[in-house]
């Protein structure tokens, strides 16, 4: 093969690329007059909405990093606080339901912030006519999930709205944890030379929920990966205290996390498609649906950034835990191309992995 | 994964790339157009250009059905959808295409009943479930999707479903290719022929390109190795001074097309005298409308459609991009005013649009020397 494509980027194209970089750094503005489904998809539109509306109104140093949980310093302790709402449809799907999702999601947001999750709140918005038996089933799986994660639901709220004003059952959970290790984590701490690790096969949850809706007439033997990550995180931090950042790859998938890291730390990320674990069933379904598994949500996977020389130690620690058996290094942090995530494709080419505009799979969590 | 991984084998790609490079005549530049948006998507998604010598340029053609929908047709559709008795159904690709007053998504957020479907048959399901409403399917696409619209119409007729109709925007690929060949501002050396369209129409309709215009055509599949092999086949034809229609995608495309699908289209639809294409203007006999026999399913007859022609936004250079005269990044508004979040032109909307493909996958500083980077291992390439 000939070299030469390298020089293909002319000065003029370079100028255009620079102009785009500048445009992308401009302050976000919501142009739409109304909220659209894209605003909830976890991609660019969500980010714009959060930054232009919520961050603008609530701006404070604790909120500004926009991490999965805020770190609160109170006398004698470092606490982590997070909240999340669950509107998944359908409510019950292979491998879980809205109940365990609501517990695990909040437990995971605390865990990847380096906190030991302790106490959760639960708020329910129920639609008139929702079967009580389903509510009991949901509450039951919340109990089981909370026990598995070692947390308690200590306060709550219940509201009922008229038929048609909600879709069965929505749940909000908030959680408090204590950061008892001497660590500071954050996407902005990623440095060139660091390794990017994912704790297992990606995309299971999103594809499972999508197929569970039964709209596509595709069947695949997949299950949601919903699981509490606090044990896995503890195993990783015990082995590699120098972990720079962790995120759980929910809405927007691994691609979105990598982009958040690239932007927050002002670094490039270069991932390798061959190294990203994806189950064949998930890959097959994605291939049929024209979806990139990199954007599909997980509910029991984390992405970790660790110093390059500690990568193998980190993978070993993750693999030693049942939830991390297929952990793998999927890429590295680079000084070049700051703010951009690139992927070496299995075919041998290179491309960008950008944030999605809208999600092809709405209401997966 | 079987039947996928075989077509993405990096070793085979290296071997093909070497054969392609060997066929390049020193000092000669080659321009091939991939007609189909699906090919454009594959090229960027897999980073295929990394394998091509500098002398070969790929020009992205008009074969993305969303990209060539003129704004006026979209406004017409929006007008239909706004009727309280109508449920509009549409493929997801159409949802973000901007009309004069926003997209289907915007209209949906404003309360218009627009539903995304994966197949036109889903529209029939919605029609059955809503007997008191009129379900209109926004039919778009080339000969690839026209058969599924046709089969849906036949099914609706067989069921005697009275509340289903089609807003027909189906287009045909050959007149568009001819318009490009006749366009004075573009010089091409050959065509990567559209694979999906050809599963329906076969390879014969391209013969005039080889015969009258003396340009080689290779009908290609959609995996990256398919495209690389097609480029090799085009280069071989040029090296041997041939211009023929060849079928690289013979595992799927029969030379004579799919007679059942063609019959269904012929039964339900007929050619329009002319139709407007975004960026290409009016092209005669380039689109399909519902046949009179099925007038009861023709949304254009059932409802009042304004049919106003709307000029494209001034800043938008989609036309030049669609004809391959401009590269996506050469458009004045590319990546700044026009992005996938806030598209001005249609080429930025569909994942098959040249601009969206370049923005999403190709927009990077290619400062590395691929050969050296590969030798040093893929990891080291970025640092």
- DSSP readout, B86-113? EEEEE-GGGGG--BTTB-HHHHHHTT--
The CA-atom distances, in angstroms, between A114 and each of A85, A190, A197, A245, A264 are 21, 16, 16, 9, 18
The nearest CA of chain B is from the CA of A362 a distance in Å of: 12
ipTM metric = 0.76
Instruction: Judge: B45–A360 Cβ closer than 8 Å, yes or no.
Output: no
Among the listed residues B14, B69, B17, B64, the one whose alpha carbon sits nearest the alpha carbon of residue B40: B64
Among B8, B351, B368, the residue with its CB nearest the CB of A347 is: B8
**Other C-beta atoms lying within 10 Å of the C-beta of residue A147:** 11
Question: Residue A293: phi, psi to the nearest 5?
Answer: -55, -25
Q: Which residues pair with B88 in a beta bridge?
A: B114, B136
pLDDT digit string, tens, across residues B254-283: 999 999 999 999 999 999 999 999 878 899
| Average confidence score pLDDT of chain A | 91
* Structure token pair of residue B329: 């990044």
Among A8, A23, A272, the residue with its CB nearest the CB of B378 is: A272
Scanning chain A, the segments in alpha helix (DSSP H) are: 11-25, 44-49, 56-58, 98-111, 132-149, 204-212, 230-239, 253-265, 280-289, 311-319
CA A51 to chain centre: 18
* Structure token pair of residue A158: 């219940």
For A70-178, CATH gives 3.30.1330.10
Distance, CA of B232 to CA of B22 (rounded, Å): 10
Intervals of CATH 3.30.1330.10 along chain A:
70-178
Among the listed residues B211, B170, B221, the one whose alpha carbon sits nearest the alpha carbon of residue B39: B221
Secondary structure (3-state) at B338: strand
pLDDT digit string, tens, across residues B336-357: 889 888 888 888 887 788 898 8
Picking from A351, A353, A355, A363 by the largest number of B CB atoms within 10 A of its own CB, the best residue to mutate is A351
Instruction: Judge: B53–A4 Cβ closer than 8 Å, yes or no.
Output: yes
Secondary structure (3-state) at A21: helix
Number of H helices, E strands in chain B: 15, 13
Secondary structure (3-state) at B127: helix
CATH level 2 (architecture), domain A185-352: Alpha-Beta Complex (3.90)
Intervals of CATH 3.90.650.10 along chain A:
185-352
Mean pLDDT over residues B61-83, rounded? 91
In the block, residue with structure tokens 């014969």: B204
Q: Are B52 and B20 in contact (CB under 8 A)?
A: yes
pLDDT digit string, tens, across residues B88-104: 999 988 888 888 888 89
- pLDDT (0 to 100) of residue B39: 94
Residues of B within 8 A of A255 (CB-CB) are none
Instruction: Judge: A20–B363 Cβ closer than 8 Å, yes or no.
Output: yes
- pLDDT (0 to 100) of residue A280: 93
Tell me: pLDDT of B374 over 50. no
Among B45, B371, B382, the residue with its CB nearest the CB of A3 is: B371
Most distant CA pair in chain B: distance in Å? 68
pLDDT digit string, tens, across residues B298-318: 999 999 998 888 887 888 888
- DSSP readout, A194-249? -EEEE-S--SHHHHHHHHHTTSS-------------HHHHHHHHHH-TT--EEEE-
């Amino acid at each position: 093969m000939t070299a030469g494509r390298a020089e293909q980027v002319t000065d003029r194209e370079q100028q255009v690329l620079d102009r785009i970089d500048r445009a992308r750094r401009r302050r976000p503005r919501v142009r739409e007059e109304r909220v659209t489904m894209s605003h909830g998809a976890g991609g660019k539109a969500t980010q714009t909405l959060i930054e232009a509306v919520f961050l603008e109104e609530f701006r404070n140093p604790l909120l500004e990093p926009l991490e999965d949980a805020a770190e609160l310093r109170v006398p004698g302790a470092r606490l982590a606080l997070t909240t999340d709402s669950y509107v998944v449809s359908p409510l019950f799907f292979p491998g879980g339901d809205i109940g365990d999702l609501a517990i695990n999601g909040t437990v995971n947001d605390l865990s990847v912030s380096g906190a030991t999750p302790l106490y959760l709140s639960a708020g329910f918005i129920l639609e008139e006519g929702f079967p009580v038996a389903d509510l009991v089933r949901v509450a039951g799986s919340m109990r089981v999930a909370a026990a598995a994660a070692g947390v308690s639901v200590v306060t709550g709220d219940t509201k009922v709205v008229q038929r048609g004003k909600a879709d069965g059952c929505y749940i909000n959970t908030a959680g408090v944890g204590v950061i008892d290790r001497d660590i500071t984590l954050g996407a902005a701490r990623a440095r060139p030379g660091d390794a990017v690790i994912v704790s297992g096969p990606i995309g299971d949850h999103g594809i499972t929920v999508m197929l569970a809706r039964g709209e596509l007439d595709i069947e695949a033997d997949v299950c949601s990966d919903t699981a509490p990550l606090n044990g896995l995180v503890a195993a990783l931090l015990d082995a590699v205290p120098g972990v720079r950042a962790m995120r759980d790859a929910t809405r927007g998938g691994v691609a979105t996390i990598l982009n958040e890291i690239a932007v927050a730390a002002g670094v490039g990320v270069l991932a390798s498609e061959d190294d990203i674990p994806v189950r064949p069933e998930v890959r097959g379904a994605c291939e049929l649906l024209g979806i990139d598994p990199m954007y599909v949500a997980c509910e029991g996977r984390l992405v970790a950034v660790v110093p390059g020389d500690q990568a193998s130690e980190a993978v070993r620690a993750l693999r030693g835990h049942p939830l991390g058996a297929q952990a793998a290094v999927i890429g590295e942090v680079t000084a070049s191309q700051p703010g951009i995530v690139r992927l070496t494709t299995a075919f041998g080419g290179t491309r960008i992995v950008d944030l999605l505009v809208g999600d092809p799979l709405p209401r997966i969590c | 994964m079987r039947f996928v991984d075989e077509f993405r084998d990096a070793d085979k790609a290296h071997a093909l790339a070497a054969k392609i490079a060997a066929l390049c005549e020193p000092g000669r530049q080659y321009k091939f157009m991939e007609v189909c948006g699906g090919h454009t998507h594959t090229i960027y998604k897999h980073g295929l250009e990394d394998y091509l010598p500098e002398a070969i340029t790929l020009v992205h053609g008009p074969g993305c059905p969303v990209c060539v929908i003129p704004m006026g047709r979209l406004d017409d559709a929006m007008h239909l959808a706004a009727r309280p008795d109508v449920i509009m159904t549409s493929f997801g690709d159409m949802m973000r295409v901007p009309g004069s007053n926003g997209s289907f998504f915007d209209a949906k957020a404003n309360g218009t009943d627009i539903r995304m479907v994966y197949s036109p048959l889903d529209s029939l399901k919605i029609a059955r479930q809503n007997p008191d409403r009129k379900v209109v399917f926004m039919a778009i696409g080339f000969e690839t999707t026209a058969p599924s619209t046709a089969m849906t119409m036949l099914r609706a007729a067989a069921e005697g479903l009275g509340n289903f109709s089609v807003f027909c925007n189906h287009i045909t690929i050959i007149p568009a290719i001819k318009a490009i060949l006749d366009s004075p501002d573009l010089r091409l050396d050959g065509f990567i022929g559209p694979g999906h369209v050809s599963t329906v129409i076969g390879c014969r309709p391209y013969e005039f390109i080889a015969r009258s215009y003396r340009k080689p055509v290779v009908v290609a599949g959609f995996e990256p190795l398919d495209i690389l092999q097609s480029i090799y086949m085009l280069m071989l034809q040029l090296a041997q001074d041939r211009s023929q229609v060849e079928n690289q995608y013979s595992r799927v495309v029969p030379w004579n097309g799919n007679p059942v699908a063609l019959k269904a289209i012929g039964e339900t639809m007929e050619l329009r005298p002319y139709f407007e294409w975004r960026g290409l203007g009016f092209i005669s006999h380039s689109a399909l409308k519902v046949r009179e026999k099925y007038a009861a399913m023709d949304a254009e007859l059932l409802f009042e459609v304004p049919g106003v022609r709307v000029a494209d936004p001034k800043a938008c250079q989609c036309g030049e991009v669609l004809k391959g005269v401009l590269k996506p990044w050469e458009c004045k508004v590319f990546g700044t005013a026009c992005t996938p979040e806030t598209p001005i032109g249609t080429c930025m909307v569909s994942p098959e649009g040249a601009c969206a493909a370049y923005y999403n996958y190709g927009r990077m500083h290619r400062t590395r020397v691929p050969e050296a980077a590969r030798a040093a291992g893929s990891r080291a390439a970025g640092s």
